Amino acid sequence: MTQEQDIRPIDSLRLAEPLASQFRFLLEADSLKSVIRGSRIADGSRRENTAEHSWHIALFALVLASHAAERIDVLRVVSMLLIHDLVEIDCGDTPLFDAAGTATQAAREAAAARRLFGLLPTKQATEMLALWQEFEAATSADARFAKAIDRLQPILLNHAVGGGTWADYDVDEARERALTCRIADGSPALWAAAEAAINDAVSRGWLKPARGA
Amino acid sequence: MTQEQDIRPIDSLRLAEPLASQFRFLLEADSLKSVIRGSRIADGSRRENTAEHSWHIALFALVLASHAAERIDVLRVVSMLLIHDLVEIDCGDTPLFDAAGTATQAAREAAAARRLFGLLPTKQATEMLALWQEFEAATSADARFAKAIDRLQPILLNHAVGGGTWADYDVDEARERALTCRIADGSPALWAAAEAAINDAVSRGWLKPARGA
């Protein structure tokens, strides 16, 4: 590939900073629309991409904010949910049930976060990277609620389509609970609802009962 | 269709309010992932759906907030951008260049907003509908900036793909400017950047010069 082909049309506009860097970041972010997740959309017709998933969970956070266990800053929660999956542009989606993928996920995603947020002007890059790290570490009330939302939405989609990734990855009820029970850290009310969906899925045969149960 | 088939799996969980209504709304909102817009994604490979568009513009708002002409509340702006296109679930996307569609758009979308936000618990439905109406009327600083962002993003996508909807709808430079110049109401800086992209598109032959020019 020649250097010429590497220049995006936006770079030829020679915009002043900080807009030039911000537009470059926002156009790079567009690639998240091409990252495909395991989950299906609610009508079951196709798999969800990560950009539309990010929109959906941001909407979840707006609508469900009052169920948070602790006092939260909704703008910080929504911001985390809008940016936390951008690393998948470099790393792809790693399903919760993919043990081999999740083992190396943290290091790969940290490098992707540095590259992607590094496209922004320095101060904004630092802020976005810190917000991303806060989400990953789940060390704040905002991050715990954001993570709860991110874990809740795929349960509702699997329930809506009658199995989804539970069937694809041969997941049983015990494993599903182990992977999602920290929803309770962000919101006991949402965890109770998630458990109702999980129990219903087991009773309908969409999710296997725990081995030995 | 029998009444039985009309019941979504989520309704069978018999969750308590307000969660039952909130989950019903959030699963109904999922249909926005199946509404296809005119714009292509930045690599030109396919058309954008409205859910991923909504994510993209919410991210634009987070990153570009400092360019707002007036003092804005970023959470209100992002909330407007996350919800303002939900009406397309009932009405479909109406491209800016579709004169016949835009003539009846307001009434059709107002009815859709009442139906969709009406799925939420009463207080939340009222708040969301008011926020949607504020965006539509563009009577506040938050709404003016949100509208500017919503108009800016398709210009950058058309520029990225070398024509896009400008070519599809045979738009010329004068019409494009007339339809987008109110970006300046929300942000003179973003309008200057949009104009740079429009001028560059004309010079490259991606957007026709104004008739008679």
pTM above 0.90, yes or no: yes
Q: A26–B75: do the CB atoms touch at under 8 Å?
A: no
Closest-CA residue to A53 (of A153, A161, A147): A153
For residue B3, pLDDT over 60 is answered with no
pLDDT digits (tens, 9 = 90+) for A66-123: 999 999 999 999 999 999 999 999 999 887 777 787 888 889 999 999 999 999 999 9
CA distance B150 to chain A (A): 13
pLDDT above 70 as % of chain B = 96
Pair B174, B211: CB distance under 8 Å: yes
Closest-CA residue to B32 (of B118, B102, B90): B90
Integer Cα distance of A209 and B155 in angstroms = 51
Higher pLDDT, B7 or A162: A162
At residue B7 the predicted structure's pLDDT band, cuts being 50, 70 and 90, is confident
Integer Cα distance of A153 and A175 in angstroms = 17
CA distance A172 to chain B (A): 20
Q: With an 8 Å Cβ cutoff, is A193 touching chain B? A: yes
What pLDDT is attached to residue A2? Answer: 41
What pLDDT is attached to residue B186? Answer: 98
**Mean pLDDT computed over every residue of chain A:** 94
Angstrom CA distances, B125 to A66, B50, B70, B115, B130, stand at 14, 21, 28, 10, 8
The distance in angstroms from the start CA to the end CA of chain B is 57
Q: A58–B60: do the CB atoms touch at under 8 Å?
A: no
CA distance A144 to chain B (A): 19
Q: With an 8 Å Cβ cutoff, is B195 touching chain A? A: no
Q: Which of residues 122-151 of A touch B (CB under 8 A)?
A: 124
Specify burial of residue A35 (Cβ count, 10 A radius: 0-12, 13-18, 19+). buried
The chain A residue lying nearest B64, using CA atoms, is A22
Q: Dihedral through CA A98, CA A101, CA A105, CA A111, nearest 10?
A: -140
Q: With an 8 Å Cβ cutoff, is A189 touching chain B? A: yes
For residue A154, pLDDT over 80 is answered with yes
Contacts of A63 in chain B (CB under 8 A): 22, 25-26, 120, 124
Q: Stretch B81-101: mean pLDDT, rounded?
A: 90
For residue A181, pLDDT over 80 is answered with yes
Identify residue A146 by its one-letter amino acid code. Answer: A
